[in-house]
Amino acid sequence: MADVILAVDQGTTGTTIAVMAGDGRLLGSVNHEFPQIYPQPGWVEHNPDAIWSSVLKGIRAVLRKGLAKPGDIAAIGITNQRETALLWDRDSGKPMNNAIVWQCRRTTPFCEALKRAGHEPRVRAKTGLVLDPYFSASKFRWLLDNTPGIGRRLSQGKVAAGTMDSFLLWRLTGGAVHATDVSNASRTSLLNLEEQTWDDELLGLFGVPRHMLPEVVPSSAILGHTKGLRELPDGIPIAGIAGDQQAALFGQACFKPGDAKCTFGTGSFILMNTGAERLDSEAGLLTTIGWQLGHGGPVSYALEGGAFICGAAVQWLRDELCIIRSAPDIESLAASVPDSGGVEFVPALAGLGAPHWDPEARGMICGLTRGSGRGHIARATLDAMALQNADILKLMEAEAGKRMKALRVDGGAAANNLLMQLQADYLGRKIIRPRVIETTVAGACFLAGLGVGLWNSTAEIAKVWGVDQEFRVALSPKKRANRWQAWHTAVARTRLKSP
């Protein structure tokens, strides 16, 4: 009997293939990295074929390790880096260019021109998003303007566009399905949040033809079946899709309004479930779709805030400054000092995200003295990761009118106990780390399992979700306020071109 779920977690630096049992246990996973491409400063690209190769390698490795047999797989779930955009040829299925990654800032001039023309309020009202190069629409426009020979193929309807979930669904189904789920669609700046459909006014504003876009589908339902893969038999249902952060919210069993999670990945991403109610932020947070369960089912909305650089700051210390040999080393190095010694590190290495939305901000290390050492810089890095999250979460509480009881955490850096304690102290809320911290994988599995009836409700899923460790607040309100003041002073200094 088919009773396990295969998850494809297509991330920014690599692809993880994982297998989950019906009782919620993660049976195992494998990861394959792929190259990051930096054509010029501020530009980031991926080779879509390299990503597809990482998916197939992962599937083969999972089967070779005996984590699952093809006949055991009840369904496949997909979760993905969200705003990354690409075009491919409908006839050959070949990418027409490298994908433009969500971190890429090349479309900043285009977005700034739309802002100057007064379009941002209308875009925000329809999409819940700010006008920023982060989102997919301006990336699609750039690709249309800069792909040689695209005009004829476009006029013939031979160009397909999408985010990575669309591309993977297309490949997994042998080109039979061109679709994206509502959570990914809500990150493009082209989806009308109220109607959950592509919006003609927005398509016109960004110059994106409707016919090249995927169909918008639910996050949990049978969306297609495998076809033409050497690694898997035909006919396995693909039954769950969600953008990585929405998948993590679902994987954390944040099913009630007010439930919130923070994923510590390349960036940090914070989502709070607001239920059936769409809440529009006045403080720079984003309104997004969390998920839709089943065709015609209700949509759950969320507030979102994110910092572009989180775990990537640790990678920077490792790869560029060379003050640690591996990412986990930062915990012991940071713990070698009692505090940051007045050192502040604002990791605005790709601009500032929510709530500032300043693409021109630049990273900064300040407060150095003759006594400052590697440990102080490491501690300042962990402080920054926790403080930027605390800023966002406090805004969410204020705008949602709900005080969190606890914050659920996941992602690779959530294994860092010192960082989790700092997060509890600077936020002033209990931190809960689940047994399965790969919650993007868990969310993809839960959505797919729900889509084929392995679980019949979110209540059943909540029963298989479990806690690993809790971190309680150990910092006084006065010390917390003083730490915040020093942090905010440093952040203000990074915004060189702000008025």
Q: pLDDT, tens digit, for every residue of 14-38?
A: 999 999 998 889 999 999 999 999 9
User: How confident is the model at residue 284, as a pLDDT?
Assistant: 77
User: Quick one: average pLDDT of 438-446?
Assistant: 94
User: Mean pLDDT across the stretch 325-334?
Assistant: 95
Average pLDDT over residues 381-405: 89
pLDDT in tens, 130-169: 899 999 999 999 999 999 889 889 989 999 999 999 999 9
Cα(171)–Cα(52) distance, rounded to whole angstroms? Answer: 8
| Of 262, 241, 261, 242, residue with least CA distance to 253 | 261
Q: Which two tokens stand for residue 356?
A: 């500032």
DSSP strand pairing (406-410 vs 260-264): parallel
**Joined tokens for residue 250:** 């679902």
Q: How does residue 306 score in pLDDT terms, banded at 50, 70 and 90?
A: confident
The backbone torsions φ and ψ at residue 215, rounded to the nearest 5 degrees and listed phi first, read -70, 145
Tokens 């989950």 appear where? 20
Radius of gyration of the CA atoms of the chain, in A? 22
Angle formed by the axes of helices 439-452 and 244-251, nearest 10°: 80
Higher pLDDT, 352 or 321: 321
Residue 203, CB half-sphere, CA atoms under 13 Å: how many?
Answer: 13
pLDDT of 277 strictly over 60: yes
pLDDT band at 400 (very low <50, low <70, confident <90, very high): confident
Share of the chain above pLDDT 90, in %: 78
pLDDT band at 1 (very low <50, low <70, confident <90, very high): low
For 20, the domain range is: 4-252
Q: Is residue 300 part of a domain?
A: no
CA gap 404, 394 in Å, rounded:
9
Q: Is the pLDDT of residue 111 over 60?
A: yes
Amino acid at 405: K
Q: Is the pLDDT of residue 428 over 90?
A: yes
Average pLDDT of span 82-103: 95
Name the percent of the chain lying above pLDDT 70. 99
Would residue 85 count as lying in a domain? yes
Q: How high is the pLDDT of residue 449?
A: 96
Helix H or strand E segment including 410: strand 406-410
Tell which wins on pLDDT, 334 or 311: 334
Tell whether 55 is covered by a domain.
Answer: yes
Q: How many whole angstroms separate alpha carbon 487 and alpha carbon 484?
A: 5
Domain annotation covers residue 461:
no
CATH number, position 16: 3.30.420.40
Count of the separate structural domains present in the chain: 1
Instruction: Name the more confident of 433 and 395.
Output: 433
Are 60 and 53 in contact by the 8 Å Cβ rule? The answer is no
pLDDT > 90? residue 182: yes
Q: Is residue 447 part of a domain?
A: no
pLDDT of residue 499: 42
CA–CA distance, 339 with 16 (Å, rounded to integer): 35
Structure tokens at 247: 């998948």
What pLDDT, on the 0 to 100 scale, is given for residue 498? 44
Residue 408 covered by a domain: no
Q: Tell me 92's DSSP state.
A: T
- The total of other beta-carbon atoms located within 10 Å of residue 474's CB is 9
* pLDDT at residue 259 is higher than 80: yes
* Gap between the Cα atoms of 8 and 24, Å rounded: 16
Give the predicted TM-score (pTM) of the model: 0.87
Residue 153 lies in a domain: yes
Region 469-482: mean pLDDT is 95
The answer to whether residue 83 sits within a structural domain is yes
Instruction: Place 497 in a pLDDT band, splitting at 50, 70 and 90.
Output: low
Lowest mean pLDDT among 144-158, 183-197, 308-322, 398-412: 398-412
pLDDT digits (tens, 9 = 90+) for 202-231: 999 999 999 999 999 999 999 999 999 999
